[in-house]
Amino acid sequence: MANSASGDSVVDRVVRVIEAFPEGVTSLQLSELADRAGLPLSSTHRLVRQLAGHGLLDSGAGGTVRLGLRLWELVNRNSPTLALRQAAMPFMEDIQQVLNQNVNLAVLDGWEALFVERLSRRGSVANRARIAGRMPVHISSAGLALMSHQPRELQTEYLKQFQDPAGKVTADVVRHLLAESAQQGYAQLAGVVDPDTWGIAVPVINTKRRTVAALGVVVPLAEMRLQALVPALQTAARGDRAPAGRVSWLP
């Protein structure tokens, strides 16, 4: 791939263009897209035209640029999370039916929890976890549940590089939270992301004894019932459903 004057490859520049769209924003003006991608306007225009030719971006009137349907199609058609989401959905629906609160599914990506599915109902408490949204491990019950059940080498690497941008949490505090989560079999965080909510999450372990996801709920502090929430989540994470008995929903 040919490099630009800055040393970026074509692939680097394509990724920068696609990543320039903020969460929840479906369209940008070409000039704004160039600014956000840190690329010259001429280079951005050329890349947009080429990507639009493949359906990965859409160019509209007045210089408007949108993410294309082809991009969504390709990502969802072969995404490794698709099978996980489809398998988890019946159990997430069961949990939501029982608790009538937010339910989410997350995987570990680097040092962050990446949320791949979420169920909400009108009237449920605010939930900052968004589909395709990320949260640092240490501020998410899902992140703690995931990291606390990873190999010790990975946990050591994570703690060695840990730094809280807000300066409120130390590596020793996170080490304690991970040890506590591993011992209890679930993670909980109260009022960290939202002062009025409590997050609880449990690991989802496949048949090879690998933790591949975390299943969690977000509930109001006033309605916190740990003795009821944790068993319900653990039952769902194991793939147990009352009507049909044991179901293996992970390979």
Q: Please report, for the domain that includes residue 221, its CATH number.
A: 3.30.450.40
Tokens of 62: 């007045």
Angle at 131 between CA 128 and CA 134, to 5 degrees: 65
Tokens of 160: 């060695």
What average pLDDT does the segment 202-217 reach?
91
Angle at 183 between CA 148 and CA 105, to 5 degrees: 45
pLDDT of residue 213: 94
Last residue of a domain, one of 52, 74, 96: 74
Full residue range of the structural domain in which residue 120 is found:
79-246
Selection from 81, 25, 218 nearest residue 140 by Cα: 218
pLDDT of residue 6: 55
pLDDT of residue 84: 86
Last residue of a domain, one of 34, 51, 74: 74
Which residue is associated with the tokens 């909400």? 120
What average pLDDT does the segment 190-203 reach?
85
Q: How far apart are CA 39 and CA 24, in angstroms?
A: 22
Is residue 120 domain-shared with residue 150, that is, in the same domain?
Answer: yes
The number of distinct structural domains making up the chain is 2
Neighbours of 18 (CB within 10 A): 16
Segment 134-180, tens digit of pLDDT: 999 999 999 999 999 999 999 999 999 999 988 889 999 999 999 99
pTM: 0.78
Q: Is residue 34 part of a domain?
A: yes
Q: Is residue 1 part of a domain?
A: no
> Which comes out higher in pLDDT, residue 193 or 178?
178
Q: How far apart are CA 4 and CA 12, in angstroms?
A: 10
Q: CB of 220 within 8 A of CB of 200?
A: no
Angle, helices 10-19 vs 41-53, to 10°: value is 90
Q: How far apart are CA 117 and CA 103, in angstroms?
A: 8
Last residue of a domain, one of 46, 74, 102: 74
Confidence of residue 219 (pLDDT cuts 50, 70, 90): confident
Q: Is residue 51 part of a domain?
A: yes
Is residue 44 domain-shared with residue 104, that is, in the same domain?
Answer: no
Is residue 67 domain-shared with residue 119, that is, in the same domain?
Answer: no
